Amino acid sequence: MTAPALPVLYSFRRCPYAIRARMALRYAGVEVTVREVKLGDKPADFVTLSAKATVPVLHLPSGEVIDQSLAIMQWALARSDPQGWLRTGPADETTHWITQNDEVFKPLLDRYKYATRHPNLTPSAHRAAAITAFIAPLNERLLQTPYLFGPRPSLADVALFPFVRQFAGVDRAWFDSAPLTGVQAWLAAWLGSDLFVASMEKSPEGSPS
């Protein structure tokens, strides 16, 4: 396939992996053409680029294809990291939080989100499992500092945020009244950030964003 003149990001607006990639690209000031992918009807060029066919996928003018959201974030930050997201927080703790999010929390979040597909437990029991494994430790942390590693955001904060957003959205009334003030304040800050709002804007199909 011909390499594009401008990087092309294959994305799905609500996908948490795609959201974190879009936020990092925008933060780094990397101009990309966003191609919204219908997950139920994936375009042939997308599947050809990356056989596993998950969003996000970044196709670079060099011909290189990056098909993991974290790798896209790291590629973007290596180009420009104006607020020092990569410098904020020890590498081992950054890896710990992101691994806990992607490997432990995400499957539990899916069970809570799609609880009817997992009738072995009630929705609130699925939610409790996600809280015990991930949300409670995150809340403990965020009661001490506004972001995971202090007063400024880090790569890990951005990598986790779209997943916690989904967790909160499953039952917003419950979340808003839960005793999770650390996570609530952190989430509110991200939801209100210009970076997130801009990253969720719908761009006309095929136009740079």
Ligand X SMILES: N[C@@H](CCC(=O)N[C@@H](CS)C(=O)NCC(=O)O)C(=O)O
Residue with tokens 């970076």: 195
Q: Which of 68, 193, 203, 209 binds ligand X (CB under 6 A)?
A: 68
CB of 58 to ligand X, least distance (A): 10
Minimum CB separation of residue 167 from ligand X in Å reads 14
| Contact between 12 and ligand X per CB under 6 A | yes
Site for ligand X contains 55 (CB under 6 A): yes
DSSP sequence for 99-133: HIIIIIIHHHHHHHHTGGG-TTS-HHHHHHHHIII
Task: State the DSSP string of 29-40.
Answer: T---EEEE--TT
Using rule CB under 6 A, residue 148 touches ligand X: no
- The three-state DSSP-derived secondary structure of 164-204 is HHHHHHHCHHHHHHCCCHHHHHHHHHHHCCHHHHHHCCCCC
Q: Which of 7, 8, 9, 15 binds ligand X (CB under 6 A)?
A: 15
Q: Please report how close the Cβ of residue 150 comes to ligand X at its closest, in angstroms.
A: 26
Q: Which is nearer to ligand X, 39 or 125 (CB)?
A: 39
19 binds ligand X (CB under 6 A): no
Strands 65-66 and 33-36: unpaired
Q: Compare residues 56 and 123 and give the one whose CB is closer to ligand X.
A: 56
